[in-house]
Amino acid sequence: MANKRQKTCLVTGCSSGGVSAAIAEAFANHGYHVFATARTPSKIPQTLHTSPNVTVLTLDVTSTESIAAAVKSVQEKTGGMLDVLINNAGHSLNTPALDASIEETKKLFNANFFGVLETIQAFQHMLIRAKGCIVNNSSVGGYQPFPFITLYQASKAALTIAGEGWRLELAPLGVRVITLVTGGVATKFLNNIQPVQLPKDSYYTSIKDVIDDHPDHVPFGMKPEIFASDVLRRVEKGSTGKAWVGGAIPMIRMALWFFPQWALDRVSLMSKPPFTQRIADEHAKRMVADSTKAI
């Protein structure tokens, strides 16, 4: 009898402190051979480097050359089949939309959206041969905006709707697509948000402290290990479509379903210290100053 083929899984963005590393470990412990990837492999946890079920690879999802190199490595290791592709690499952008650098915004979408698409395209033949599964990590932020991270949320909203469309397109080819609508997970994500850089003439200079005000932990954050187990369970049982996973998800879904828009806006504004009046007051001062100069 021929030996049973070991299932394979590639996970992007496996730096320490994130959900990807926990997902990679969960799949490796379940018997998969996991390709744990990151732009900087030295940032991948040592437990993954030393696991017999893990191959560590360099993968920058914003680089066509890096993606091609990863495809070649996986092809050589697996013989041309990939059972699971988990797209989690990405980053955030903390800024008012009026002051956002278009270049930085494009980098954001390249990492969070176009990089996912290009990675899927690059591994398509391996996934189709294996009748595999694609898992895209999106966010509840794609459903309700929060001030000053709306560009990040827009990238996740794009991934959610695209993922649902890709699910329909790939189903006839035997490939499942799961879109994780992720709630709170206790990772280092908030610690990686960089302080906002505002131009001197920004309408928001008076509230820079508010924009940079972040909790030191994710409220209602689910442990990454529990999150990873949930993802593994959904892949193994054959799930497809949107999967709401993470801390406070029942409460979030109920609010999105039942709350009127004004109430949702109130919740969004409560995510920061009061700032709307400060913006209005600063704008009024500028209007007075400008009118005085014109006299």
Question: Of 66, 138, 155, 202, which one is the catalytic site residue?
Answer: 138
Cα–Cα dist 100/96, whole Å: 6
DSSP assignment of 125-192 equals: HHHHHHT-EEEEE--GGGTS--TT-HHHHHHHHHHHHHHHHHHHHHGGGT-EEEEEEE-BB-SSTGGG
- Is residue 102 classed exposed, middle or buried when 0-12, 13-18 and 19+ CB atoms within 10 A define those classes? exposed
Closest listed residue to residue 84, CA positions, set 181, 177, 185: 177
Whose tokens are 């397109």? That residue is 169
64-87 core/surface letters (b: 16 or more CB in 10 A; e: else): eebbeebbebbeeebeebbbbbbb
Is 152 an active-site residue?
Answer: yes
Cα–Cα dist 191/266, whole Å: 25
In the numeric block, which tokens belong to residue 156?
């996740």
In the numeric block, which tokens belong to residue 66?
């890096």
Question: Of 139, 152, 155, 204, which one is the catalytic site residue?
Answer: 152
Is 143 an active-site residue?
Answer: no
Q: In sequence order, what are the beta bridge partners of 247?
A: 184
Beta strands in the chain (DSSP E): 8-11, 33-38, 54-58, 84-87, 133-137, 176-182, 241-245
β-bridge pairing 133-137 and 241-245: unpaired
Catalytic residues: 138, 152
